[in-house]
Chain A
Amino acid sequence: MGRYVIRRLLQMIPVFIGTTFLIFVMVYAVGDPVNAMFGERAPDPATAEQLRAEFNLDKPVWQQYVLYMGKIFSGDFGNAFNGRPVTELMATAFPITIRLTLLAVVFEIIVGIVLGVITGLRRGRPVDSGVLMMTLVVISVPTFVTGTLAQYLLGVKWGWIAPAVSPAAPAGELLLPALVLALVSLAYVTRLTRTSIAENARADYVRTAVAKGLSRGRVTVRHLLRNSLIPVVTFLGTDVGNLMAGALVTERIFNIQGVGFQLWQGIVRQNSPTVVGFVTILVIVFLLANLLVDLLYAVLDPRIRYA
């Protein structure tokens, strides 16, 4: 198990360097952030030169990258062009988005897996077909449509909830945005669990467990579900990245001042330190989530541990 973890950690390093470099090049190499700072006016050449030197923009890209990464590992993400340290923005934005994403993942796990198990065990019955059709519809409607409609109907027309989330974003107010964010992935989790359960329900070990006289619930949860979860766990791991990017849309709709909100502002205003800093953290989160998935594999399926 220890060697397995170390090997996975080592494999993460080139991917981390590659991904962060790619983002860095995309943001810094194309476009001129100093010009963007001055908006419509042409910047004073001397000031522009000084700013370029200050942000290391006058050096070749790979050198900028190395300098930047060196700073990041000492905890300095630089200042946004308006002078506020990027870490300060992160400190307010990340807790909110993490709360939102965790709520969304909880929705996915509870609702998705329960629906998947129910439909997988009753394959071909009306419940199955009904839920399957519903997942198709849910997957087809883009998040921004569900989000704006939910906000319009529940928030504006019927007035059940506040249409916008307050700056502090307590968990109670995030329930609806989290559900909107989770909806598409939830449908995928349902479908994956259903397929996996239906496939494994005919397996020999299930027949053995039933023949041993185990209760229905125990067979389903301990034998069938545990063996059916691997594709679902894989999906959930890669989905953390999608959820955080999907928060871009959800946070804009419900005016939540989290990571998506800051990123959107950073991208539109070409505020490079903000964008690169936030994306770097997101990439780390994404890689760690995938690592966690691989470790969970080993827990779920001992064969992987010893391979």
Chain B
Amino acid sequence: MTETLNVPASASMEPQPAPPGADAKPAKGRSLWSDAWHDLRRNPLFLISAVLIVVLLAMVAFPGWFTSASPTVGDLTHHYQGKPNYGHFFAEDWFGYDTQGRSVWARMVHGARASVLVGVLVTLFVTILGGLVGLVAGYFGGWLDSVLSRITDIFQGIPFLLGAMVVLTTFTKSNLWVVIAALLFLGWTQIARVARGSVITVKQSDYVQAAKSLGASTVRIMFRHIVPNALAPVVVVATTALGGYIAAEATLSYLGIGLAAPTVSWGVDVSNGKDALRTAPHILISPAVMVSLTVLAFIMLGDAVRNALDPKSR
């Protein structure tokens, strides 16, 4: 959906080969990426999303910093018990207890790992697979492009959630890798389309023609000249999509076919909570808030990066 906007946007970007992480000298010859970074640091949208993401990553890496309660050990005397009226910040009962008497806060913290892992890994694989398909289709053109584009069309013809559901039910056991595979199966098409459009725009620039006439090999042109310059729109779409995959994991779990019980994830908690909704809504709402905040953080980050990379929108 957003690719219709991103593709033409890339045409207006500075056509200088700019390896990411280049020196940010405030002089005139600033590269696209350092210029974007300069712009990002002043964007409140970026700062808010960066804080949210840092906290989230801390939860993933060091859940012990946030809670000492166990996410898997429950005390049935507490089950369905809601949030206490007096505040116990960061304590076991901060957000009440779930159906098994486990601490909801502990599960919110520990659930981050599985959910973020699904989001990050799916985004990584999708970017590699979709990026390669788009690169090959866009660079070589001709019949190869036609074939790859039709294959992309075929995979895009199946609604995302529906396809993921069908893939998941064909596996008898559902674990993290199966969920990742199911989301990857249909998820790569969006990136492939964006990458293809971006590569086609970059391919026509003078420096690519120059490299060609100097006799650079195809691989060198592709990975030294085209990839770094065609990357921007792909990065934007991938950032926004990361949040979407986390939401998709939770949605599949809600439908009862995503990650399952021994795994601690927000999706699993959401599907536990939906049956207790009428008596104890906090069991569903707490992990749902975590999912929403994460998605929000990545969408804001994607928006901020897009604005920074596209000088036209300033």
Contacts and interface: CB of A to CB of B under 8 A. Distances in A.
Interface stretch (A54-62, A76-84, A141-149): A141-149
Nearest to B296: A140
Determine the interface band of chain A, counting residues with CB < 8 A from chain B: 35 or more
A141 B293 CA distance: 8
A139 interface: yes
A159 to B, nearest CB: 13
Given A249-B255, A264-B255, A283 B157 contact: yes
Interface in B113-161: 150-151, 153-155, 157-161
Interface residues of B, number: 45
Given A15-B157, A238-B1, A282-B159, A23 B151 contact: no
B183 to A, nearest CB: 14
Contact of B169 (A140, A270, A279): A270
A18 B150 contact: yes
A99 interface: no
A15 B160 contact: no
B255 A248 contact: yes
Nearest to B288: A145
B284 interface: yes
Secondary structure at chain B's binding surface: helix, strand, loop or mixed? helix
Contacts of B243: 140
Interface in B163-201: 163, 165-167, 169-171
Given A244-B159, A270-B169, A144 B1 contact: no
Contacts of B285: 149
B162 A282 contact: yes
B220 interface: no
Interface string A241-253: 1101110110010
A195 B278 CA distance: 41
B288 A140 contact: no
Contact of B166 (A26, A156, A230, A235): A26
16 contacts: A15-B150, A22-B158, A137-B296, A140-B293, A142-B247, A142-B291, A144-B274, A192-B1, A230-B4, A231-B5, A234-B4, A264-B255, A267-B165, A267-B257, A279-B162, A286-B157
Given A23-B166, A234-B4, 12 more contacts: A14-B150, A16-B157, A19-B155, A27-B166, A27-B170, A144-B251, A241-B157, A245-B160, A245-B162, A248-B162, A275-B166, A286-B159
